[in-house]
Structures are given as structure tokens and as C-alpha cells.
Amino acid sequence: MTSSTDDKGILSGVLDRWKAAVDAHQPERVADLFTEDALFQGLHPYSVGRQGVAEYYDSQPLGLKAEYRILETRRPAEGLVLGYLDVDFTFTDRPTLAVKLAVLLTRAGDDWYISHYQVSRLDEGPQRA
């Protein structure tokens, strides 16, 4: 069993690459961080697989940036890391969108991939991230 510090390091390794790809508006690079059969739930209808992830991030406005903070980690089983985060999405033309993000990372070979991504908002509004 690995420690929470190890789990945070694993999450940060994947999420730093996710953030870099989101900030650079590189939807295919974002999608490459997900498993082939990833369940992806942003703030509109869910998708399964990398293609849906790429389409979702391709639809996001240029200038979108993400800042995250890991709140909790869990290790439900060997080869899995669950993370719960605060994420602020900033835009060039509208207020920051603050969301909660739950991700489940799955180990494949020597690397980790996002197999489940679930965004939620605690307040209601028309914006998407």
C-alpha cells in the first residue's frame, strides 16, 4: 500500500500534464491522458473514450486555463488512485468557474491514465468547463 504522499505525486504527475494540455488548447493531448474506455463527465452529457474527451476540450474557448488543488486521495485497490480536487477554470471573457473534480487513475504498464473523470458544480449557472 502506498502512502497518501505517493498518491498525490501520482495524481500531480497526470494532472500537471492534463493542465498543460488544457492550457495550450491541445484536445488530442488531453485525450491521450485517458484510457481508451474512460468515462468522462464534464458539465454537459457524458462520453466514453478518448474521442469524446478530445471533442469536449476542442469545444472549449481559446484562453481557457485550469488550476487545481488536490483535496483528498484514496487507494481503492492496487493500480488505482482516486483523487478529489478543487479546479478553477479561468477564461479570457468571463468569470472563473470553480468546480469539484473526481478522477480515478488506472495504472497501465509504467504509466497512469484517467479512467473516470467527474466534474460537479455546487452552484447552478449556464457556464461550461
List the CATH number of the domain containing 54: 3.10.450.50
Query: What's the pLDDT tens digit per position in 105-129?
Result: 999 999 999 999 999 998 655 555 5
* Domain tally, the chain: 1
Residue 4 has pLDDT above 90, yes or no: no
Is residue 98 classed exposed, middle or buried when 0-12, 13-18 and 19+ CB atoms within 10 A define those classes? middle
Strands 65-74 and 80-90, sheet pairing: antiparallel
Tell me what pLDDT residue 1 has: 44
Give phi and psi for 30, each to the nearest 5.
-60, -50
Domain membership flag for residue 41: yes
Tell me what pLDDT residue 2 has: 46
Residue 3 has pLDDT above 70, yes or no: no
Domain membership flag for residue 14: yes
Report the amino acid identity of residue 91: F
Domain membership flag for residue 129: no
Residue 38: give the domain boundaries: 4-120
Domain membership flag for residue 40: yes
Query: What's the pLDDT tens digit per position in 19-62?
Result: 999 999 999 999 999 999 999 999 888 999 999 999 999 999 99
Name 85's Cβ contacts closer than 8 Å, sequence gap at least 6.
11, 15, 68, 69, 70, 71, 100, 101, 102, 103
Residues paired with 101 in a beta bridge: 85, 119
